[in-house]
Amino acid sequence: MSKISYKKLLLRKKNKEAITCLTAYSDPIAKILDGKVDLILIGDSVGTTIYGMSNTRSVNLEIMKNHAKAVTKSVKKSMTIVDMPYKTYRSKREALKNAIEILKFSKADFIKIETDRSNIEIVKYLTSKKIKIVSHIGVTPQKYSDFSKIKSVGKTDKEIENLLKLAIDLQEAGSKFIVLECITIFAAKKITKKLSIPTIGIGSSNYCDGQVLVIDDILNFSPDKRKPKFIKNYTNISINISKAIEEFVKDVKLKKFPSSKNSYS
Ligand code: KIV
């Protein structure tokens, strides 16, 4: 199987075959995901999932570059998207410099930026420089220092109209995909119907052309963490990890590990 192309994903929008996307931050997870999902996102959610940060604002360019490289190194089939971290795309110049740096270093296919009306011109500018952009609208986590304050958007007519206009303008600015985060069913349906580029939803209903989730959430690495309702746990990996650790500790204490099989003579 060769690498999936953007053209093929555009056709999938027409044929209504949903596009799949999960995050990855490391080489082993990237290897498992490769070819199973269409898109792999090296999200700035790395800050909260891997580094224990309370939001994504402390994630910097170096963190994103290194995790992106770890992921893209072995990815042969899926397309890859890397997040531009907080305060790295405030002007056209800053955005271009940092986008080139991150893409050159990681060889990812797309960069994703959190967008609103204030940075449409930046999307247009980056596109004119041949940088492939994924825009992210609705709830944009870099705006929040406290994630418990996050609420869905697209409830009033005015909000829906603004989101729709923003999505259309971002498409015209050259975005290849638009991530819709925590947007109401009605608004997500309307936006998806209106656009010719695919929408990828997170907490935005199954009317989107595709879905993205954070891998740590579907695996349930942190069962104690309060999670938004759009997350579904597909397994409980923390139970398996705990079991393996308990067995290791027991074996070591009982001197069952290492056995002669694990030792050099
Ligand atoms: O950083 C991230 O993981 C994201 C989401 C869309 C999943 O931006």
User: What are the pLDDT digits (tens) for 54-83?
Assistant: 999 999 999 999 999 999 999 999 999 999
User: What are the pLDDT digits (tens) for 1-52?
Assistant: 789 999 999 999 989 999 999 999 999 999 999 999 999 999 999 999 999 9
Please list every protein residue whose CB sits less than 6 Å from any atom of ligand 1: 23, 41, 43-45, 83, 179, 202, 212, 214
pLDDT at 232: 96
Angle at 48 between CA 9 and CA 92, to 5 degrees: 60
User: What are the pLDDT digits (tens) for 166-198?
Assistant: 999 999 999 999 999 999 999 999 999 999 999
Q: Which atom of ligand 1 is nearest to the CA of 181?
A: 6
Give the span between the Cα atoms of 56 and 49, in whole angstroms: 10
pLDDT at 225: 86
User: What are the pLDDT digits (tens) for 122-146?
Assistant: 999 999 999 999 999 999 999 999 9
Calculate how far, in angstroms, residue 114's C-alpha sits from the geometric centre of ligand 1.
Answer: 10
Per the prediction, the chain carries an average pLDDT of: 97
pLDDT at 23: 98
Q: Which atom of ligand 1 is nearest to the CA of 43?
A: 1
- Three-class SS of residue 14? helix
pLDDT at 247 over 90: yes
Calculate how far, in angstroms, residue 115's C-alpha sits from the geometric centre of ligand 1.
Answer: 13
Share of the chain above pLDDT 90, in %: 95
pLDDT at 226: 86
Spatial neighbors of 152 by CB under 8 A, at least 6 apart, are: 138, 139, 182, 183, 184, 203
Question: What values do phi and psi take at 225, rounded to 5?
Answer: -75, 135
- Measured N-to-C along each axis, helices 92-106 and 61-72 cross at an angle, to the nearest 10 degrees, of 30
Nearest residue (by CA) to ligand 1, atom 8, is 43
pLDDT at 149 over 90: no
Calculate how far, in angstroms, residue 171's C-alpha sits from the geometric centre of ligand 1.
Answer: 20
Catalytic residue list contains 181: yes
Spatial neighbors of 177 by CB under 8 A, at least 6 apart, are: 39, 81, 110, 134, 135, 197, 198, 199, 200, 210
pLDDT tier at 241, thresholds 50, 70, 90: very high
Peptide bond into 258 cis (omega under 30): yes
User: What are the pLDDT digits (tens) for 105-128?
Assistant: 999 999 999 999 999 999 999 999
